[in-house]
A and B are shown apart, each in its own frame.
Chain A
Amino acid sequence: MTAAALLLTACAPAIPSAPVQPPTAAATGEGTSPPAAPSPPPATPDAPQGPARREGSIPQRPATLPAVAAAVPVPASLTVAGTSIDMTVVPVGVSPDKAMEIPEAFDQAGWYRFGPAPGAAAGTAVIAGHVDTTSERAPFSQLKTLGAGASVQVGRLGAPALNYRVVSVELMAKDSFDGDSLFRRSGPHELKVVTCGGRWLQERMDYSDNVIVTAVLE
């Protein structure tokens, strides 16, 4: 038991190092700006075509500066039918202790801006908020009671709102926090709405678990 642990007033960070997954290392990205260099001439028809050749399977692209990507529509609100959850959503990043940042205001939730956004083609959009204030419960305390099929609406800036349907509510122990599964950047798109739950551990000043609501686009 360390003294530092007793000073934590939020959900204390679990093991900071998430399981390592092999990076999908690849030179990727298609430059959308026109090539500065002359375009390669078409392949000559008399080029040798030996069986060992890899030509044709090797992607080539102009290595010019890619155009700055257009910003994706960011989420601005989160409402859950049948509850008092009607939150403002703000983009958040990572705190110095490697935790996801959570807005201070009890009626605000944070969207992890480095991961996929709601409506993305792939991966999980993570929105998290406090389960309590310094003395009371916050709206997200109702997350653990949601049932399958509950309707979740995400309002977006400059784009239509998105309707999600809850498919699961789970507890993930903070002692075995699996960040790579929660903050997934590939695979099917899902919305993850996260807060704290499980048992309150007074000695840690933290809950034992995260409550994770998973929802899919309707």
Chain B
Amino acid sequence: MRRSIFTAGAGAAAIAAALALAGPAQAAEGDAQLAVLHGVPGLTVDVWVNGDRTLDDFAPGTLAGPLSLPAGAYELAITASDAADASAPVIGPVTVTLAASGNYTAVANLDAAGKPTANFFTNDVSQIAAGKGKLTVRHAAAAPAVDVLAGDAAVVSNLANPAEQTLSLDPATISAAVAATGTTAPVIGPADLTVAEGTHTIVYAWGSLADNNLQLAVQTIEGLHSSPGSVPGARDGSSGTSPAGPAVVTVGFGAAALALLLGGLGVARTVAARRAGR
């Protein structure tokens, strides 16, 4: 509910333009979003969706997408990059079910023992409280359970492949490291990791401890912010009884306020207070 004190033409146009731009300029309403992360070291692949080559020469450490796909079941297969079709996959085929408006990441990675596999994660795209960021850590590496350290403190403990943990955090750039559970000697990092307000930051630990190529991959899902619930700009109502300044416009305030203005009392009080407050 908005009552206009006045609105110049330019303002109305700007508001109309803002409304027009508010909707996401993306795929069809209700489509699911599917991102694909390649977390198998040393293996360039093709990714097939329902038998169609969807990602060609997909390299380790690369994040693709998101693809906008209608809700439904899809068959994902990963082949060598020179495969003619999806009949001889190196990973899969796996069937995944995408819900309408769902958000997912399919990850090709090593299991804890070092065997290539695929994991399918559902990404939380619910709105994040105003002023907060969200961090999810996913273990997709050939390594034992780990702790994730922010500075010196473990913020995620005993995370095993292929589990995940999610935290709500104050936005910040943290010095993040990954260590074997119960230890503080990093096997990855420390590295600067930014958790932005209104953004879901998803961090994957991938690679192989035995092969000494553990590293982090990062996916961010933006636009999940909420707005503050109010703007509390008042203390006690002393403004309402003393309209401002000599050029005051009393639109919307009426006779009582005008009478006080004529008395001049409010103006005198305010000047004195300003001097005292400086």
Query: B1 near A: Cβ within 8 Å?
Result: yes
Q: For A133, what are the chain B residues with a Cβ–Cβ distance below 8 Å? A: 235-236, 238, 273, 277
Contact with B along A85-124 (1 / 0, CB 8 A): 0000000011001111010001100001010000000000
Which residue of chain B has the shortest Cβ distance to A42 in the bound complex? B57
The answer to whether residues A44 and B57 also contact, given A99-B232, A137-B244 and a CB cut-off of 8 A, is yes
B44, B173, B221, B242: the one contacting A137 at CB < 8 Å is B242
Stretch binding the partner chain, chosen from B47-55, B87-95, B155-163, B177-185: B47-55
User: Which residue in chain A gives the minimum CB-CB distance to B82?
Assistant: A44
Contact B171 A114 (CB under 8 A): yes
25 A-B pairs within 8 Å (CB atoms) are namely A10-B233, A17-B229, A20-B127, A24-B222, A26-B33, A37-B61, A40-B44, A48-B53, A54-B52, A55-B55, A58-B55, A58-B67, A63-B63, A64-B216, A65-B191, A68-B173, A93-B131, A114-B225, A126-B231, A137-B244, A170-B7, A176-B1, A187-B19, A206-B234, A214-B14
Q: Count of chain B residues with Cβ under 8 Å from any Cβ of A?
A: 99
Contact A18 B239 (CB under 8 A): no
When distances are taken between beta carbons in the complex, the residues of chain A under 8 Å from B127 are 20, 23
Interchain CB contact under 8 A, A65 and B54:
no
Stretch of B21-29, B70-78, B145-153 lying at the A interface: B21-29
In the bound complex, CA of A35 to CA of B61 (Å): 8
Chain A 36-74 interface residues, beta-carbon cutoff 8 Å to B: 36-41, 43-44, 47-48, 50, 52-55, 58-66, 68-69
B125 to chain A, nearest CB (A): 4
Alpha-carbon gap, A53 to B10, bound state (A)? 45
Chain B positions within 8 Å of A216 at CB level = 10, 14
Q: Separation in Å of the B40 CB from the closest CB of chain A? A: 11
Known: A50-B52, A137-B242. A65 touches B222 (CB 8 A): no
Chain B contacts of A13 at CB under 8 A? Answer: 229-230, 232
Residues in chain A near residue B258, CB distance under 8 A: none
Whether a CB of chain A sits under 8 angstroms from the CB of B118 is no
Q: When the two chains form the complex, which single residue of B10, B63, B193 contacts A27, counting CB atoms closer than 8 Å?
A: B63
B277 in contact with A171 (CB, 8 Å): no
A32 to chain B, nearest CB (A): 12
Smallest CB gap from A100: residue in B:
B228
Residue of B6, B221, B278 near A25 (CB, 8 A) is B221
Interface residues of B (CB under 8 A from A): 1-8, 10-12, 14, 17-19, 21-22, 24, 26, 33, 35, 37, 44, 49, 52-67, 101, 103, 105, 123, 125, 127, 129-131, 171, 173, 191-194, 197-198, 204, 215-242, 244-245, 247-249, 252, 266, 269-270, 273-274, 277-278
- Whole-angstrom CA separation of A89 from B226 in the bound complex: 23
Q: Contacts A99-B230, A137-B244 given; indicate if A27 touches B35 (C-beta within 8 A).
A: yes
State A50–B53 Cα separation when bound (angstroms): 9
CB-based contact A167/B225 at 8 Å: no
A16 within 8 A of B: yes
Q: How long is the Cα–Cα vector from A171 to B248 in the complex, in angstroms?
A: 16
Question: B229 near A102 (CB under 8 angstroms)?
Answer: no
Q: In the complex, are the beta carbons of B235 and A170 less than 8 A apart?
A: no
Asked whether B6 lies within 8 Å of A196 as measured between CB atoms, the reply is no
> How far is A84 from B278 in the complex, measured between Cα atoms in Å?
13
Contact of A100 among B191, B221, B232 (CB under 8 A): B232
Q: Is the CB of B21 within 8 A of A187?
A: yes
Most A CB within 10 A of own CB, among B14, B66, B239: B239
Q: In whole angstroms, how far apart are the Cα atoms of A44 and B44 in the complex?
A: 13
How long is the Cα–Cα vector from A169 to B11 in the complex, in angstroms?
9
Cα A117 to Cα B230 in complex, Å, equals 19
- List, in ascending order, chain A residues with CB within 8 A of B232's CB: 10-13, 99-100, 102, 196, 206
- Which chain A residues lie closer than 8 Å to B8 at the CB level? 148-149, 167-168
Q: Is the CB of A174 within 8 A of B230?
A: yes
**Are A61 and B62 in contact, with the CB atoms below 8 A?**
yes
List the 7 closest pairs (A to B, CB-CB), nearest first.
A179-B227, A37-B61, A94-B131, A16-B229, A11-B232, A168-B11, A63-B217
Residues on B with beta carbons closer than 8 Å to the beta carbon of A102: 231-233
